[in-house]
C-alpha cells in the first residue's frame, strides 16, 4: 500500500512541477502555453539519452533543464509578434513538432521504438528505500520550485509580469519592454518542465513519443484551473485533485456493485470526466480562487 501511495506521490509531484511552470507562464504572466508537454518531452529525452551514455544524473538533469529552457527561447521571440490566442496555437504546434522530430530522428531517439532501460534514481538502494528516496528528492525539487515561484511573484519582476497579464499596453506606456519579460518567464517555466520530464523518464524508465501527446499539457491545465489560476497553492492543490480523481476512481469497483470488470474501466473514465465537469461547474474559480480575476 505504501509503495502505491509513493508512486502516486511521485507522479503527482512531477505534475506539480509542470503546473508550477504553467502557473508562472499563464497564472502570473497570462501567456497561454498549450505546448507545455513539448518542454517536458525535451527534458525527458535529454536526461534519458545522456544518462544512457553514462553521464552522471546530476549533469543530465541540469542538461534537461537547460535544453528545455533553451528551446523556449525561439518560442519567446515568436511570441513578441503574436496575440494571446495565436501564441496558444504556436505553442501547441511546437509541442507537436517536438513529438514528430523525436519520432523521426531515429538515430538519436530510436523513434517509435522508444528508449528502454533508462537508469533509475538511487537504484543501488533497491526496492522501497529507493522509491522513498525518489519521492523525497522530487519533493525537495518541488519545494525549491515553489520557493522560486513565490520569490518571483513577490519581487518587482513578479509585479511587472502580473502587470503584463493585466494590461500589456499600460506596461509599455510605462516604458517597460514586455517581450523581454515574457521570454524570461517562458524559459524559466520550460526549464521547470524539463526537470519534470527528467524525473518522469528516470521514474518510468521507458519513454516513447506516444507519451508526450497534448493530453499531458491539458492535464496540467486542468490541474491549475481546478486549483485556482495564478496561485502557487492552486497548482499544488489542483494536481492533488486531479490525481485524486484519476487514481481514486480505481477503487470504484470496490464500492459500486453490479458492474462487470471490463465495463468498470469505461465507467471509471466516465466518472473522472463527470467529476471534472461537476467540479468546474460548482467551483469555476478553482479551489483556491482565481487570483487573476480579483
Partner 1 sequence: MTHTRRQFIGTIGAATALIGAPSILRAQAQGTFRIGALCPVTGSGSPFGSGMQKMIIAAAEAVNAAGGAAGRKIEIVSEDTQTSPQAAVLAAKKLIDVNKVQAVLGTWSSGVSLAVVPLTNDANIILMNTSGAPALSVPPANAKGLSYRFQATNDRFGRAFAEICEKEGFKRPATMAFNNASGVGNTEGFRKAWEAKGHKVVESVVYEPNQPTYRSELQKVLAANPDVIVTGSYLADTTIIMREWYQSGQPVKWVMPGWAASPDLVKAVGPDVVEGIISVDSVSNENAPSYKAYDEAYRKATGQPGQSNVYAAMTWDMVHAVALAIEAANGTDMAAINAKIREVSNPAGQQVYTYAEAKEALKKGKINFEGASSVLDFDQYGDVTPDFGVFFIEGGQLNRRYVVKI
CA-to-CA distance for 264 and 271, rounded, in angstroms?
Answer: 10
If the CB atoms of residues 155 and 266 are measured against partner 1, the closer one turns out to be 266
Among 93, 111, 158, 214, binds partner 1 (CB under 8 A): 111
Please, what is the minimum distance in Å from the beta carbon of residue 235 to partner 1? 11
If the CB atoms of residues 173 and 262 are measured against partner 1, the closer one turns out to be 262
How far CA 248 is from CA of 13, 102, 131, 226, 260, in Å, comes to 16, 33, 21, 17, 18
Task: Dig out the grid coordinates for 150 from the structure.
Answer: 513565490
Contact between 210 and partner 1 (CB under 8 A)?
Answer: yes
Contact between 282 and partner 1 (CB under 8 A)?
Answer: no
Contact between 170 and partner 1 (CB under 8 A)?
Answer: no
**Whether the Cβ atoms of residue 179 and residue 80 lie closer than 8 Å to each other:** yes
Among 28, 98, 193, 241, binds partner 1 (CB under 8 A): 241
Among 66, 93, 103, 280, binds partner 1 (CB under 8 A): 103
Pick the stretch among 78-86, 87-95, 112-120, 176-184 that binds partner 1 (CB under 8 A).
Answer: 112-120
Contact between 265 and partner 1 (CB under 8 A)?
Answer: yes
**Whether the Cβ atoms of residue 141 and residue 199 lie closer than 8 Å to each other:** yes
CA-to-CA distance for 192 and 198, rounded, in angstroms?
Answer: 10
CA-to-CA distance for 15 and 240, rounded, in angstroms?
Answer: 9
Task: Dig out the grid coordinates for 262 from the structure.
Answer: 471490463
CA-to-CA distance for 119 and 141, rounded, in angstroms?
Answer: 19
Please, what is the minimum distance in Å from the beta carbon of residue 89 to partner 1? 20
Contact between 17 and partner 1 (CB under 8 A)?
Answer: no
Angle between helix 214-227 and 84-104 (nearest 10): 140
Contact between 231 and partner 1 (CB under 8 A)?
Answer: yes
Contact between 214 and partner 1 (CB under 8 A)?
Answer: no
CA-to-CA distance for 113 and 148, rounded, in angstroms?
Answer: 37
Please, what is the minimum distance in Å from the beta carbon of residue 49 to partner 1? 15
Q: What are phi and psi of 115, to 5 degrees?
A: -110, 105
If the CB atoms of residues 176 and 253 are measured against partner 1, the closer one turns out to be 253
If the CB atoms of residues 86 and 251 are measured against partner 1, the closer one turns out to be 251
Contact between 208 and partner 1 (CB under 8 A)?
Answer: yes
Angle between helix 232-248 and 127-154 (nearest 10): 150
Contact between 202 and partner 1 (CB under 8 A)?
Answer: no
Contact between 205 and partner 1 (CB under 8 A)?
Answer: yes
Name which of 247, 245, 253, 244 is nearest 274 in CA terms. Answer: 245
Among 82, 108, 170, 244, binds partner 1 (CB under 8 A): 244
* Integer-rounded Cα radius of gyration of the chain: 19
Residue 218: Cβ within 10 Å count: 14
CA-to-CA distance for 22 and 17, rounded, in angstroms?
Answer: 9
Instruction: Build a one-symbol-per-residue string for 30-49: x at contacts with partner 1 by CB under 8 A, - elsewhere.
Output: --------------------
Residue numbers at the binding site for partner 1 (CB under 8 A)? 1-4, 7-8, 11, 100, 103, 111-114, 116-117, 120, 127, 200, 204-206, 208, 210-211, 231, 233, 236-237, 240-241, 243-244, 246-248, 250-251, 253-255, 261-262, 264-266, 268-269, 287-288
Amino acid at each position: 500500500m505504501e509503495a502505491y501511495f509513493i508512486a502516486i506521490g511521485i507522479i503527482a509531484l512531477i505534475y506539480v512541477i509542470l503546473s508550477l511552470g504553467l502557473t508562472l507562464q499563464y497564472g502570473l504572466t497570462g501567456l497561454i502555453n498549450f505546448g507545455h508537454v513539448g518542454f517536458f518531452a525535451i527534458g525527458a529525452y535529454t536526461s534519458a539519452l545522456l544518462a544512457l551514455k553514462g553521464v552522471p544524473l546530476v549533469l543530465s538533469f541540469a542538461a534537461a533543464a537547460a535544453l528545455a529552457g533553451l528551446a523556449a527561447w525561439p518560442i519567446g521571440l515568436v511570441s513578441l509578434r503574436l496575440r494571446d490566442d495565436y501564441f496558444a496555437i504556436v505553442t501547441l504546434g511546437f509541442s507537436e513538432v517536438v513529438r514528430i522530430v523525436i519520432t523521426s530522428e531515429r538515430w538519436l531517439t530510436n523513434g517509435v521504438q522508444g528508449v528502454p532501460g533508462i537508469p533509475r534514481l538511487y537504484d543501488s538502494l533497491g526496492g522501497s528505500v529507493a522509491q522513498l528516496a525518489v519521492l523525497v528528492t522530487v519533493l525537495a525539487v518541488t519545494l525549491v520550485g515553489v520557493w522560486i515561484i513565490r520569490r518571483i511573484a513577490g519581487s518587482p519582476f513578479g509585479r511587472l509580469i502580473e502587470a503584463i497579464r493585466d494590461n500589456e499596453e499600460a506596461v509599455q506606456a510605462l516604458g517597460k519592454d514586455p517581450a523581454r519579460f515574457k521570454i524570461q518567464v517562458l524559459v524559466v517555466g520550460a526549464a521547470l518542465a524539463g526537470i519534470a520530464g527528467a524525473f518522469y523518464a528516470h521514474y518510468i524508465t521507458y519513454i516513447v513519443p506516444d507519451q508526450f501527446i497534448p493530453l499531458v499539457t491539458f492535464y496540467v491545465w486542468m490541474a491549475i484551473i481546478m486549483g485556482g489560476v495564478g496561485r502557487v497553492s492552486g497548482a499544488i492543490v489542483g494536481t492533488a485533485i486531479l490525481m485524486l480523481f484519476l487514481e481514486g476512481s480505481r477503487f470504484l469497483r470496490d464500492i459500486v456493485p453490479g458492474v462487470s470488470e471490463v465495463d468498470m474501466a469505461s465507467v471509471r473514465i466516465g466518472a473522472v470526466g463527470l467529476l471534472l465537469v461537476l467540479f468546474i461547474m460548482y467551483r469555476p474559480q478553482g479551489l483556491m480562487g482565481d487570483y487573476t480575476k480579483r
